[in-house]
């Protein structure tokens, strides 16, 4: 501990207030701080904390260049400094382990080569979303997918849970763009979502604030109007539960969570909805569970 040759840290989404004291200490301690951050405040802070060793990797991006190529170049740059014997701090915006292939791969390769390396936690956009939209992921459960991965890899949704789709503004585009991405996958995404929700189910386009004093973007939209809802490259889609859960009353009774058969008629607490929307009404109470049947979750 504390003698690592590579430490990966996160600057948070809003650097002022969200960068941890542990991360600040490692930036100061490092011989070399290579960073990829999303705002000038974060960059200025890193340069202030380590003026001699700070180096941006933003120049590795290029218009229409495959992002995976840029990520691999970042990894090689980081490991190159580690191999030179420098104590390296790799700083990335948000949480360094969330949607961050170069950070994970840098740690993995460094360890494989015999170097001591670790990752420190940071504040992610998901953390900001839970706070800004007053959502508890433990209530109803939460599914979280990168949008393109969700679309092409057969991912499935439980419509009684919270659902978060990341990077909907770069859907189906594997390259880097400075302005607008080619979101040609909208029809396929909507077609898949309509398998689980009504086209008029209300979802929310969310963007975490980057600067102090700025409010988050929380824009309600029906799913069918999603392509016209002002989605940007940093937008996240939050979909509230579209139906109540289907409890397995027989299992609950066998676990002692229902003390008597009549408890099955008790209605579960309603999950608050963001922005004051009314929660979905629970279904009528089912009959008392029988010992020979089970209402299974699909």
Active site residues: 67, 71, 93
User: What's the sign of the alpha-carbon dihedral 71, 108, 29, 12?
Assistant: positive
Alpha carbon separation from 215 to 7, 131, 167 (Å, rounded): 32, 12, 20
Residue owning tokens 């504390």: 2
Classified as helix, coil or strand, 77 is helix
CA 279 to mean position of chain CA atoms: 24
d(CA 208, CA 45): 20
Q: Which candidate, 19, 15, 9, 40, places its Cα nearest to that of 212?
A: 15
d(CA 147, CA 185): 10
Q: How many CB atoms lie within 10 A of CB 81?
A: 22
d(CA 89, CA 276): 43
Beta partners for 91? 9, 35
Alpha carbon separation from 230 to 133, 135, 196, 217, 227 (Å, rounded): 19, 23, 23, 11, 7
Q: Which candidate, 15, 39, 14, 40, places its Cα nearest to that of 27?
A: 15
Is there a contact between 33 and 55 (Cβ–Cβ < 8 Å)? yes
d(CA 68, CA 102): 9
């Amino acid at each position: 501990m504390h003698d690592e040759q590579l430490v990966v840290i996160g600057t948070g989404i809003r650097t002022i207030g969200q960068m941890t004291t542990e991360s600040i200490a490692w930036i100061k301690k490092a011989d070399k701080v290579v960073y990829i951050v999303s705002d000038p405040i974060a960059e200025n802070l890193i340069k202030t904390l380590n003026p001699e060793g700070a180096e941006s990797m933003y120049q590795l991006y290029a218009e229409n260049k495959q992002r995976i190529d840029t990520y691999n170049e970042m990894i090689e740059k980081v490991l190159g400094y580690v191999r030179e014997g420098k104590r390296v701090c790799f700083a990335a915006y948000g949480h360094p382990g969330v949607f961050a292939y170069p950070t994970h791969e840098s740690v993995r390769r460094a360890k494989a080569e015999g170097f001591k390396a670790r990752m420190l936690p940071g504040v992610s956009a998901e953390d900001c979303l839970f706070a800004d939209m007053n959502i508890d992921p433990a209530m109803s459960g939460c599914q979280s997918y990168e949008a393109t991965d969700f679309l092409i890899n057969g991912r499935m949704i439980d419509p009684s849970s919270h659902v978060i789709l990341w990077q909907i503004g770069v859907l189906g585009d594997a390259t880097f763009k400075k302005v607008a991405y080619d979101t040609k996958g909208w029809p396929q995404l909507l077609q898949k979502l309509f398998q689980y929700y009504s086209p008029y189910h209300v979802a929310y386009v969310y963007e975490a604030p980057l600067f102090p004093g700025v409010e988050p973007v929380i824009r309600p939209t029906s799913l069918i109007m999603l392509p016209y809802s002002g989605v940007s490259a940093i937008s996240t889609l939050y979909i509230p539960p579209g139906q109540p859960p289907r409890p397995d009353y027989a299992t609950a009774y066998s676990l002692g969570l229902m003390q008597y058969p009549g408890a099955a008629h008790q209605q579960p607490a309603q999950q608050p909805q963001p922005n004051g929307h009314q929660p979905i009404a629970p279904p009528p109470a089912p009959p008392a569970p029988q010992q020979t049947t089970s209402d299974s979750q699909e």
